[in-house]
């Protein structure tokens, strides 16, 4: 709409990322390889685990029902048949114990991947996550490391109600010593997980239930997507939409619709919340002059407040043509009824409306 | 009390079990036909446990329930239409459509809630027991949970609190042999889960969970013990779920034969045999509690209740998104549903 | 410094609060009563509990070592001798269990106060706090309430290192269904706790270890301080300093020093993070044109990012003369060594420097 | 192995116990004189447990420790100067002054860390055991914890994992009769904590924790069992802490008589009697392992080591605030201190 930004209206290109010009939720930072096949997000996660386990004997997966059952969301699938019950290990229902066991196994030289069936159940394991895994390296003055990955699906949209639908990334992102990853594409689900497994620190990987069945191109090789690089999913001149998780495809769909209305929206996906590549975000906001921050989690204290704070603390502050705006889940537990559940978190229409308003009003 | 000898009790037990069965069959069907959303955990095959246990309770007694909680809710006396309305996401549902299957509860009958968190209700039960005890009340709390819950830290901590404070709580484990897919043989290093009880200094007993009489007997003892200040007990009821864990279950972790062998031990069929005198073990001198037509009456009653509930619930208004943010916080001075003050 | 704010340089007065003109960390919203005595913060907490227990049989206190020991920080003191071992009840070391028991006791009609010895150990109890206590009222469609108070001391400064020094308010403030209170004065420690006990919802009260021995005037009567009212601890024209917990007295000390430099700083203390009285904050920032948000917790994802986001989303955005600035704990676990521990969280000097810079540079 | 009969072992055990005692007395003193900050949990009176237990371990074996961990650290072979430097917040401390007393650990000797969280080390120990087992190693993990820890969910879950997977872990409970102030009599409904072991299907034994020989014997059995694939065990060592729980303890929850009666059962004095043949129970036919002067030598060695550690540590540079944010994250490719890869 507006085109008077004094930094020009050209494409916003993130440092270290390749801008994606199509509207699809594809992309990532993989160096060019042979035309990638299409996999679902959950297949991509599985492939990453399989490749990591093949390459490194110390990598293994454990968690509730990850074996014969194949995981509550089918993510581990047939891995138990390929790697055996020792390396794809069913556990009793005891989240604190198994995360603690991952800490211990990591300290003793393994590279465990622990699956928590729903990210809501990390609440059971917060001591081992936040007080142990995150802090041991520091508390021991660097004398030991805790390489481990905790994978857990978050998000609403499945009618599973308040205790099975949360988006808890803000809890983890607030804990120094953790890294926090939220992949939104199949390619990133694989590439970021591979980086997480390589990392000598505890990494929380928050997958999204609604994305598990989404497909996208995924390189066959074990191509790493580095932690800490914001992906520019779409360039745009009028407003920068920053979104995470399932809000990324929604933001992209919204951007398509906004484009037909003459509003040019950039869509940025931080992918890693900790460490956060805020530079790419700040650069984009400085260019567009407007920021719409979209998260599924309830508004108060969500991670988008951190991004808002960083934007206004940055040089982009002087370039703002509109207040930095958040579009968030309502401050309610996720309800069961489908129409209420829909109303509780941002939908494509909401993004279109809010972004349009930001651009038109300011 | 002898459920199998007293006609009134026999009818109540049988009707309750049939109601649970029919309710869940209906739910299963509606779910398959796309009329319900979310996920469902059915307790078909396990009906004897809530039935036998709740018949040992009096008005005012509490229960805490689980993700597989329809049976507990029904056995404790909830209204089927409000339950069905909840599953259909109606404003008239017990939770006004906010909770769904995993949070359904009729607080008025002392049900402090189903729970989506495995073992989540266990320390809550201890707390309710503590409240009773501090008020000098005589209520008892029955806490239902599965075998899988017994390995959770919450279970351990909740049971210990009840044990050291002699709280009036009966811990009822529905051991259906599996967590989601992990069998008790792999998740435990002991033969019976009741062995865990000793470590807390409370009685632990294992019982045939497909026999409502057997469940009733041991829970009655435990309730009496609790009510008279004797402290908590642990009851392990051996049973089996016929259906998958939830909708996504492909039953890869157990054999068709195993499922079949448990279906042959149908708790309802067995109870019908027992109460009509058809069971071999019944002494010929005892007259059967129920006739075939009594049994048929129970079945029909259950079926009709469920049908009626579906009809009423279906006609009710959908949960209203306009009031979505209403019940996040209770207003000042809100009454406490679960008990009296001071 | 600057005096060109277009809303004038007059005193900023919060709705519903009485501005405090002295520099001391006194105040609160108590209606005027007979000249209050002086109590320490921990005595004030104890008095609130005693008065609540005297007035209402259903109120009781339990937690680790709250009985004969008198509480790890001596807060419960002699209460066990006054109310007996049933109502001032020692528990085994099992935070998840005792918070769960509080939930159950609340559901069944009591008004439990549960003390967690260090707020760090709420990690053990997060399931009962966030998945149970916070959500039950909503999940049951309003059919039941969970009146309970969880008291826990937070904060660093005692050399207790990373697992005993955290400031975790952001975790709780992100959970719909919880209320979150952080008293910074003795009067508020009493008055807010009384309101928390009255409240039919679960309330997390985060006390601060370093404040326990601070004294201040406290009304003898059980005077409630309502939840959800930001206190204006000091009025000022050039910059609004928003601070929580032990940062409030530090901010007040800084404001004194800034005043001698000719910088007029308002100091606001939200006291309740959830529900947050953001209006008072926004009004003050609109008046001063500058906001400095000070927290002890690590920067990333801390609660001050929420306040920053609300300020820039509000009409105060148009009045900002400087970027909204946060002064936070470093993104590190709290270290043991005293000089490192000091360096890890904001000190008075840091506040003076940052506020001065904000006013002078913009 | 008979610690009381073999002069080498006897000297090692005695010197270790004296070193722990002298180290903690020095720390207590420095703390009182304001030379140390933070808080301290002293294990004076409990020295026989870490000494007897760690002497059952071989190089490469792991331990997990607690808030009351100086004894474990010393018994596992840590350097006193790096320990003292840590307490004095020096850059040369084991944790570069970042951790302090509650996190002190010599990872090189297999100590995976003291822990400020009660029972925090228990599932970590299970995980280390799992790592050993998956690598096909022969190491054993000893997990130390107090009586209070046994009621934590983490303990329950960690022990169960070790039990079902037959992991090489020995759970050593230092039952000093109190959590912070809550006695085991009030916190448990069982006579011995070893009774808890049965519920997990693992051996549980209670032993005199003031006798390093007794501790050594049962831990040696348990270690052998673990090393040979026989799975975990639980050892409850009955002992007592002479000092308050921490600096703020006014000892209101126990009597002076009780403390005195346990001081009379000083594990070090008793062991000295045993090894010099002064104890009545010693058969006259067995020659004493140590002479009075051997004993004196051990005492002096311990005292001198501690003095030397204080001297070295005091001279070291303070922890450096300039590098405060250094070790929050390990750099890519950082070595894993606790073991080897692949
Ligand atoms: C804390 C927690 N962990 C995991 C789950 C996922 N989950 C739901 S039910 C279930 C199995 C529970 O097994 P059990 O306690 O035996 O009850 P059952 O389903 O057999 O009735 C699991 C793993 C959960 N809901 N909560
Ligand atoms: C999870 C947790 N809860 C509470 C505390 C506070 N605390 C520290 S030590 C302690 C007592 C521990 O008792 P025990 O396990 O018997 O060990 P002891 O101190 O007797 O050696 C307590 C309550 C803690 N550090 N961690
Ligand atoms: Mg089960
Ligand atoms: Mg102890």
Domains of chain C, start order: 10-16+227-361 (3.40.50.920), 38-217 (3.40.50.970)
Catalytic one of A43, A115, A137, A164: A164
Query: How far is the centre of ligand 4, averaged over its atoms, from the C-alpha of D177 (Å)?
Result: 5
Q: A with B: how many residue pairs have Cβ under 8 Å apart?
A: 133
Task: Tell me what the pLDDT averaged over chain C comes to.
Answer: 92
C-contacting residues of A 15-74, CB under 8 Å? none
In a domain, B332, yes or no: no
In a domain, B333, yes or no: no
Q: Which residues contact C43 (CB under 8 A, 6 or more apart)?
A: C77, C186, C218
Neighbours of chain B (3+ CB pairs under 8 A): A, C, D
- Rounded Cα gap, residues D332 and D199, in angstroms: 43
Q: Is the pLDDT of residue C127 over 60?
A: yes
Mean pLDDT over C217-236 rounds to 98
Contact B186 D164 (CB under 8 A): yes
D106 SS3 class: coil
Nearest to C65 among D37, D180, D318 (CB): D180
Angle at C301 between CA C296 and CA C303, to 5 degrees: 55
In a domain, B87, yes or no: yes
Using the atom order of ligand 1, give the atom closest to the CA of residue B117. 26
Q: What is the DSSP letter of A132?
A: I
Looking at the complex, does the CB of residue D115 fall below 8 Å from at least one CB of chain C? yes
Phi, psi of B170 (to 5 degrees): -115, 120
Query: How far is the centre of ligand 1, averaged over its atoms, from the C-alpha of C168 (Å)?
Result: 29
CA nearest ligand 1 atom 20, residue: B179
Q: To test the ligand 1 pocket, which listed residue (B179, B181, B239) has its Cβ within 8 A of the most ligand atoms?
A: B179
What pLDDT sits at residue C24? 35
Query: How far is the centre of ligand 4, averaged over its atoms, from the C-alpha of D182 (Å)?
Result: 9
* Chain C residues near residue D255 by CB distance under 8 angstroms: none
Contact D157 B152 (CB under 8 A): yes
State whether the Cα torsion D303-D307-D312-D313 is positive or negative.
Answer: positive
DSSP string spanning C34-97?
S-PEEEEHHHHHHHHHHHHHHH-TTEEEEETT-STT--TTSSSTTHHHHHHHHHEEE--S-HHH
Query: How far is the centre of ligand 1, averaged over its atoms, from the C-alpha of D342 (Å)?
Result: 34
* Chain C residues near residue B112 by CB distance under 8 angstroms: 104, 107-108, 144
Is the Cβ atom of D22 under 6 angstroms away from ligand 2? no
B168 within 8 A of B129, measured Cβ to Cβ:
yes
pLDDT classification of A33: cutoffs 50, 70, 90: low
Whole-model pTM? 0.95
Looking at the complex, does the CB of residue B151 fall below 8 Å from at least one CB of chain A? yes
CA nearest ligand 1 atom 25, residue: B117
* Chain A residues near residue C170 by CB distance under 8 angstroms: 170, 174, 301
What pLDDT sits at residue A259? 98
Looking at the complex, does the CB of residue B209 fall below 8 Å from at least one CB of chain C? no
D-contacting residues of A 12-41, CB under 8 Å? none
pLDDT classification of A344: cutoffs 50, 70, 90: very high
Q: Is D111 left (phi over 0), alpha (psi -120 to 50) or beta?
A: beta
- Rounded Cα gap, residues C229 and C208, in angstroms: 19
A349 SS3 class: helix
Mean pLDDT over B92-97 rounds to 98
What pLDDT sits at residue D286? 72
Is the Cβ atom of D72 under 6 angstroms away from ligand 2? no
Query: How far is the centre of ligand 4, averaged over its atoms, from the C-alpha of B169 (Å)?
Result: 28
- Rounded Cα gap, residues C334 and C351, in angstroms: 19
Mean pLDDT over B258-274 rounds to 98
A-contacting residues of C 156-185, CB under 8 Å? 161-163, 170-171, 173-177
Query: How far is the centre of ligand 3, averaged over its atoms, from the C-alpha of A66 (Å)?
Result: 17
What CATH number does residue B85 fall under? 3.40.50.970
Catalytic one of C43, C95, C207, C341: C95
- Rounded Cα gap, residues D227 and D140, in angstroms: 6
Containing domain of residue B59, as a range?
7-325
pLDDT classification of A24: cutoffs 50, 70, 90: very low
Using the atom order of ligand 2, give the atom closest to the CA of residue D174. 21
Contact B116 A335 (CB under 8 A): no
- Rounded Cα gap, residues C360 and B315, in angstroms: 67
Nearest to B164 among D154, D155, D187 (CB): D187
Mean pLDDT over C16-26 rounds to 36
- Rounded Cα gap, residues B261 and B274, in angstroms: 19
* Chain A residues near residue B153 by CB distance under 8 angstroms: 94, 96-97, 124
Mean pLDDT over C265-286 rounds to 98
What pLDDT sits at residue C9? 31
Nearest CA-CA partner of D151 in A108, A285, B230, B165: B165
Catalytic status, residue A86: no
Looking at the complex, does the CB of residue A112 fall below 8 Å from at least one CB of chain D? yes
User: Radius of gyration over alpha carbons of chain D, in Å?
Assistant: 20
In a domain, D280, yes or no: yes
Q: Is the pLDDT of residue B151 over 70?
A: yes
Q: Which ligand is nearest to the CA of B180?
A: 1
Mean pLDDT over D180-209 rounds to 98
Contact D199 B202 (CB under 8 A): no
- Rounded Cα gap, residues B126 and B169, in angstroms: 7
In a domain, B338, yes or no: no
Which segments within B131-271 are labelled E, that is strand? Answer: 141-146, 169-175, 204-208, 233-238
Query: How far is the centre of ligand 2, averaged over its atoms, from the C-alpha of D146 (Å)?
Result: 8
Task: Tell me what the pLDDT averaged over chain B comes to.
Answer: 95
What pLDDT sits at residue A4? 34
How many angstroms away from the CA of D126 is the closest CA of chain B? 15
Return the H-helix or E-strand segment holding A326.
Answer: strand A325-329
Q: Which residues contact A1 (CB under 8 A, 6 or more apart)?
A: A238, A262, A263, A359, A360
Using the atom order of ligand 1, give the atom closest to the CA of residue B174. 21
Phi, psi of C117 (to 5 degrees): -60, -40
How many angstroms away from the CA of D152 is the closest CA of chain B? 6
Mean pLDDT over C296-318 rounds to 97
Q: To test the ligand 2 pocket, which listed residue (D24, D40, D67) has its Cβ within 8 A of the most ligand atoms?
A: D67
Q: To test the ligand 2 pocket, which listed residue (D65, D177, D180) has its Cβ within 8 A of the most ligand atoms?
A: D180
Residue D46 Cα distances to A15, D49, D53, D262, angstroms: 58, 6, 12, 10
pLDDT classification of B333: cutoffs 50, 70, 90: confident
- Rounded Cα gap, residues B244 and B247, in angstroms: 7
Catalytic status, residue A95: yes
Task: Tell me what the pLDDT averaged over chain D comes to.
Answer: 95
* Chain D residues near residue A101 by CB distance under 8 angstroms: 123-124, 126-127, 130, 158, 161
Using the atom order of ligand 2, give the atom closest to the CA of residue A127. 1
DSSP string spanning C119-175?
GGGGGGGHIIIIIIIHHHHHHTTTS----EEEEEEE---SS--TTS----HHHHHTS
Mean pLDDT over C289-305 rounds to 98
Q: Is the pLDDT of residue C203 over 80?
A: yes
Helices (H) and strands (E) in chain C, counts: 12, 14
Catalytic one of A43, A64, A95, A341: A95
D232 SS3 class: coil
Contact C331 D151 (CB under 8 A): no
Nearest to B151 among D157, D196, D198 (CB): D157
Probe site for chain B from C56, C140, C148, C198 (most B CB atoms < 10 A): C140
Is the Cβ atom of D267 under 6 angstroms away from ligand 2? no
Q: Is the pLDDT of residue C15 over 70?
A: no
In a domain, B339, yes or no: no
Nearest to B189 among D153, D189, D201 (CB): D201
Q: Which of B186-190, C19-23, C261-265 has the lowest mean pLDDT?
A: C19-23
Mean pLDDT over B262-276 rounds to 97
Mean pLDDT over D291-313 rounds to 98
Structurally, how many domains does chain D consist of? Answer: 1
pLDDT classification of D280: cutoffs 50, 70, 90: low
> Could you tell me which residue, A29 or C77, shows the higher pLDDT?
C77
Is the Cβ atom of D89 under 6 angstroms away from ligand 2? no
Q: Which residues contact A273 (CB under 8 A, 6 or more apart)?
A: A169, A172, A173, A180, A181, A182, A244, A303
Mean pLDDT over D55-80 rounds to 98
- Rounded Cα gap, residues C246 and C154, in angstroms: 10
A56 within 8 A of A111, measured Cβ to Cβ:
yes
Let me know if B28 is exposed, middle or buried by CB neighbors in 10 A (0-12, 13-18, 19+). Answer: middle
Phi, psi of C239 (to 5 degrees): -155, 145
Q: Is the pLDDT of residue A20 over 80?
A: no
Sheet holding B141-146, edge to edge: B62-64, B141-146, B169-175, B233-238, B204-208
Q: Is the pLDDT of residue D339 over 70?
A: no
Looking at the complex, does the CB of residue B198 fall below 8 Å from at least one CB of chain D? yes
Alpha-helix residue ranges (DSSP H) falling in A56-185: 79-87, 95-107, 126, 134-139, 169-173
Q: Is the pLDDT of residue A5 over 50?
A: no
Q: Which residues contact D331 (CB under 8 A, 6 or more apart)?
A: A200
Mean pLDDT over A97-113 rounds to 98
């Amino acid at each position: 709409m507006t085109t008077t930004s004094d930094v020009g209206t050209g494409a916003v290109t993130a440092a270290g990322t390749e801008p994606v010009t199509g509207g699809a939720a594809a992309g990532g930072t993989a160096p060019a390889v042979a035309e990638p096949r299409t996999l679902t997000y959950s297949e991509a996660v599985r492939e990453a685990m399989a490749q990591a386990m093949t390459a490194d004997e110390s990598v293994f997966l454990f968690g509730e029902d990850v074996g014969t059952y194949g995981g509550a969301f089918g993510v581990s699938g047939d891995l138990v048949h390929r790697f055996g019950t020792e390396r794809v290990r069913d556990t009793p229902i005891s989240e604190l114990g198994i995360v603690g066991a991952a800490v211990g196994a990591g300290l003793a030289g393994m590279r465990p991947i622990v699956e928590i069936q729903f990210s809501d159940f990390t609440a059971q394991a917060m001591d081992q996550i936040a007080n142990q895994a995150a802090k041991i390296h520091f508390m021991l003055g660097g004398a030991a490391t805790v390489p481990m990955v905790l994978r857990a699906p978050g998000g609403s949209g499945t009618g599973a109600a308040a205790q099975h639908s949360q988006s808890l990334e803000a809890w983890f992102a607030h804990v120094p010593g953790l890294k926090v990853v939220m992949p939104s594409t199949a390619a990133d689900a694989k590439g970021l997980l591979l980086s997480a497994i390589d990392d000598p620190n505890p990494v929380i990987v928050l997958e999204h239930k609604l994305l598990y069945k989404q497909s996208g191109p995924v390189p066959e090789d074990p191509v790493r997507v580095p932690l800490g690089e914001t992906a520019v999913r779409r360039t745009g001149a009028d407003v920068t939409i920053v979104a995470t998780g399932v809000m990324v495809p929604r933001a992209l769909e919204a951007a398509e619709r906004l484009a037909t209305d003459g509003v040019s929206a950039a869509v940025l996906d931080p992918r890693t919340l900790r460490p956060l590549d805020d530079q790419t975000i700040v650069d984009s906001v400085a260019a567009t002059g407007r920021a719409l921050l979209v998260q599924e989690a309830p508004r108060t204290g969500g991670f988008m407040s951190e991004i808002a704070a960083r934007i206004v603390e940055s040089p982009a502050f002087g370039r703002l043509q509109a207040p930095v705006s958040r579009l968030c889940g309502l401050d309610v537990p996720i309800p069961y009824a489908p129409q209420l559940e829909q109303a509780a978190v941002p939908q494509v229409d909401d993004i279109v409306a809010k972004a349009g308003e930001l651009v038109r009003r300011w | 009390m002898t459920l199998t000898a007293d006609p009134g009790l026999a009818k109540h037990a049988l009707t309750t079990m049939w109601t649970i069965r029919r309710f869940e069959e209906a739910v299963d069907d509606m779910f398959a036909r796309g009329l319900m959303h979310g996920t469902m955990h059915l307790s078909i095959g396990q009906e004897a446990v809530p039935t036998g246990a709740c018949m040992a309770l009096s008005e005012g007694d509490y229960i805490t329930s689980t993700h597989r909680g329809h049976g507990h809710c029904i056995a404790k006396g909830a209204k089927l239409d409000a339950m069905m309305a909840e599953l259909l996401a109606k404003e008239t549902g017990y939770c006004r459509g906010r909770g769904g299957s995993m949070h359904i509860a009729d607080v008025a009958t002392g049900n402090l809630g189903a729970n989506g968190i495995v073992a989540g209700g266990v320390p809550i039960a201890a707390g309710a027991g503590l409240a009773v005890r501090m008020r000098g009340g005589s209520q008892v709390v029955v806490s239902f949970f599965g075998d899988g819950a017994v390995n959770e830290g919450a279970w351990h901590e909740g049971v210990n609190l009840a044990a050291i404070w002699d709280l009036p709580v009966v811990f009822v484990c529905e051991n259906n042999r599996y967590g989601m897919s992990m069998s008790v043989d792999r998740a435990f290093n002991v033969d019976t889960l009741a062995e865990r009880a000793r470590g807390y200094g409370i009685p632990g007993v294992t019982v045939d969970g497909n026999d409502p009489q057997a469940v009733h007997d041991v829970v009655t003892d435990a309730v009496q013990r609790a009510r008279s200040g004797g402290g908590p007990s642990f009851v392990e009821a051996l049973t089996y779920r016929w259906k998958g864990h939830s909708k996504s279950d492909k039953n890869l972790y157990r054999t068709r034969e195993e499922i079949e062998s448990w279906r042959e031990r149908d708790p309802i069929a067995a109870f019908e045999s027992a109460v009509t005198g058809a069971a071999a073990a019944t002494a010929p001198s005892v007259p059967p509690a129920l006739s075939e037509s009594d049994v048929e009456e129970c079945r029909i009653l259950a079926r009709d209740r469920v049908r009626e509930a579906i009809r009423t619930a279906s006609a009710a208004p959908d949960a209203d998104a306009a009031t979505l943010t209403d019940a996040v916080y209770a207003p000042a001075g809100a009454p406490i549903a679960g008990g009296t003050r001071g």
